[in-house]
Amino acid sequence: MHCPYCGSDQTKVIDTGHSPQGIRRRRECQSCGERFSTLERAILTTPLLVKRDGRREEFNREKLLAGLRIACARRPISADDLERLVDRVENYIRQLGKAEISSRVVGDKTIEELKVLDPVSYIRYAIVYLGLEDLEAVRAEIDRLLGEQAGGAAAEGTTPAARGGSRGRSVE
């Protein structure tokens, strides 16, 4: 491992720990004395994604994470939550055991995970992913989501009104 400060390859590991993203190592450069951390993660193969136009490209977790960060901007979602969401999507596509999958599979799994994490971010992502091109389409998706939530709340015996009312304005 090369020191990011001086470029020397004389570094030693002073601490090792585990994190959800991989193995975290604290290192110290023997030349300049600076300390830095590295993250090690196993490189596992993921299937190629087949795009709508027939192009094939490798799954890029950073590209997915960047899109999620945009959808989740100014929302109370931690970076760790987004990392875990991408981990779940990546593990899902690996477990399919195929050499190639439709990019739609990744999008569908992502949107399913995002709906559970944060409904507002889900709507933001859905506008682009599902191609919601006008306000009526967006409204229909919001109404569908509210219907799902009301159905889940009714099944649990609680409704937004029973919990103290809704938090925002009505969409009607």
The sign of the dihedral angle between the CA atoms of 62, 49, 90, 81 is positive
Mean pLDDT of the chain: 87
Strand order in the sheet with 48-50: 56-58, 48-50, 100-102
CB 17 within 8 A of CB 23: yes
Reported confidence tier of residue 159, pLDDT bands at 50, 70, 90: very low
Q: pLDDT tens digit string along 56-81?
A: 999 999 999 999 999 999 999 999 99
Percent of the chain at pLDDT > 90 equals: 73
Percent of the chain at pLDDT > 70 equals: 87
Q: Is the pLDDT of residue 171 over 70?
A: no
Which two tokens mark 80? 């760790």
The more confidently predicted of residues 151 and 47 is 47
| Parallel, antiparallel or unpaired: strands 100-102 and 48-50 | parallel
Q: pLDDT tens digit string along 72-119?
A: 999 999 999 999 999 999 999 999 989 999 999 999 999 999 999 999
Q: What is the pLDDT of residue 157?
A: 52
Q: Is the pLDDT of residue 28 over 50?
A: yes
* pTM to 2 decimal places: 0.63
Query: In this structure, how many other beta carbons lie within 10 angstroms of the beta carbon of residue 156?
Result: 8
Q: What is the pLDDT of residue 155?
A: 59
H or E stretch including 29? strand 22-29
Pick the closest to residue 112 from 98, 99, 132, 129 (CA basis). 129
Report the residue count for the chain: 172
Q: What is the pLDDT of residue 158?
A: 44
- Using CB atoms within 10 A of its CB, is residue 39 exposed (0-12), middle (13-18) or buried (19+)? exposed
Q: In whole angstroms, give the CA distance from residue 90 to residue 60.
A: 9
